[in-house]
Amino acid sequence: MDISKPISAALFLYECFRLSLLIAFLFVAQSVGIGVPLEILTGGAFFPYIAYLGSTALFPLMALFIWLRPQEHRNYIALYMAGKVIGVVLFYAWAISPSGEFTGMENLQHNRAVLLISIGMNMADVFSIWGACTLKNRARKTEIGGL
C-alpha cells in the first residue's frame, strides 16, 4: 500500500486546521488585550497580520498540491519542510529570547496561555516536518515515478 496519499492528505488537513486556528486565535485573543484590536482592521496597521497570515496560507496550498498531484509537485515537499523548519527555529529562538514580552505581571495568565498554545502548535509543526520527510524519502525511493 502506498502510504504517501494518506500522509499528504493528513498534512493538508492539518494545515487547514492550523490556519483556521491561527485566524481564530488572532481575533479571539483581542478580547483579552493580547490580540488584534478590531480598530486596526480599518487602518493601515493590519498589514503585519495580513502578511503573516498570507505566508502561513501558502502551507495549506503546498500540501494540497502535494496531495493532488504528487508527481508534478514533489519539489514542494522540500519547500514545505524548509518553511516549517525556519518557522519552528525562529519561534523557539523568540520564545527563549529575553524580549520581556511574556514577563509582564499584568497579563501573566494570558501570556502563559499564548505561550503554551504556541508551543503546542509548533510541536505539531515538528510532526508535519516528520510527515514531509517521510514523503520526501518515499519520493526519493521512486525517483522515476515520483510519489
Q: Which of 87, 72, 86, 74 is nearest to 136 (CA)?
A: 74
**Any idea which residue has 525562529 for its cell?**
90
Domain count for the chain? 1
Looking at residue 65, its pLDDT comes to: 92
In a domain, 147, yes or no: no
Q: Answer yes or no: is pLDDT of 22 > 50.
A: yes
**Is 133 within the bounds of a domain?**
yes
Which residue segment(s) compose the domain that 35 sits in? Answer: 4-141
pLDDT digits (tens, 9 = 90+) for 38-79: 555 555 555 666 777 788 889 999 999 999 988 888 888 999
Interval 85-99: pLDDT, tens: 998 888 888 777 765
Task: Count CA atoms within 13 Å of residue 72 on its CB side.
Answer: 6
With contact defined as beta carbons under 8 Å apart, do 12 and 60 qualify? yes
For residue 65, is it within any domain? yes
- Amino acid of residue 66: I
Exposed/middle/buried for residue 141 (C-beta within 10 Å: 0-12, 13-18, 19+): exposed
pTM of the model: 0.74
